Structure 1
Amino acid sequence: VESTSQEAKVESTSQEAKVESTSQEAKVESTSQEAKVESTSQEAKVESTSQEAKVESTSQEAKVESTSQEAKVESTSQEAKVESTSQEAKVESTSQEAKVESSILRNMLLNTHPLNPKARRTKIGRDLERHTCLFKVPQLTVHVRSKTKP
């Protein structure tokens, strides 16, 4: 009976050992699963970080694009300013030329008009006297008749 009980003890001991080894295996499995979970979460963190970096680079590219567009707008507005300035300069020069021309014409008419006693008889004056013309110059209206001869 004692030997049988000892065998039973041995069997129970071996069963306990099996149980222990099985629980250790279970612990190892759970530890490896935790490790897998940790590595997966780290990969997810890496992915989210890379996505954030992509978002940052995209926003920087967008900033660069908007800055270049602003620069284009500025250069376009500067070109427009230059164009308007050159147009203003053309208008000024044209108005100055018109003033000079009207001044020259006015002086010519004053100097060649037959009713002006100080008028100089020039070739232009004689040509003007031969034709009937009506010149309107600022502050002066002169009527030249063709019947008058020098």
Structure 2
Amino acid sequence: MREKAIPIHTLPQRPMKLRKWTVEAIVAILLIVWLHTSVSKLMDFGGLQIQMRQSPVFYKNANLAAIVGPSLEILLSILLIIKRTRVVGLFGSFLLMVFFTWYVAYLMVTMPHLPCSCGGIVGWLNWSQHLALNIFLTIISLIGFFLQRKYLKMGKP
């Protein structure tokens, strides 16, 4: 005996709502991180430039890196706020966090005593805590990207 198919519109909406709220929570976390660190870096721009000059990766382009870093974080914040560009903001957040995670791991190996050039409270973390935070933010950015993309495929903004 065949079971009768249940129309999609009568299925519980709980998974879709959970997906939506999960994405909203991820976006909120990323917004707090991006806005907090970018504003902190810009408020101490001279200090940021000095720390970038000490970096084995950025020392040749310290001034450019000091401008590009906070600018990217602000751009990602704007992309995350606008629902139509959120999926791009989530993927961009993932890519930037992959880079930041690699950078922290690289510094842990090559220059563990170098001060962190991250702004705000993130700069207070030791390198191991910073790496753990970056891995967490990388993972949630990727999860948010896939959930938002799936949500968009379902025809939701």
| Common fold by TM > 0.5 | no
State the structure with more CA Rg.
Answer: 1
Name the structure, 1 or 2, with higher relative contact order (CA <8 Å, separation 6+): 2
Answer 1 or 2: which has greater strand percent: 1
TM-score by length of 2: 0.31
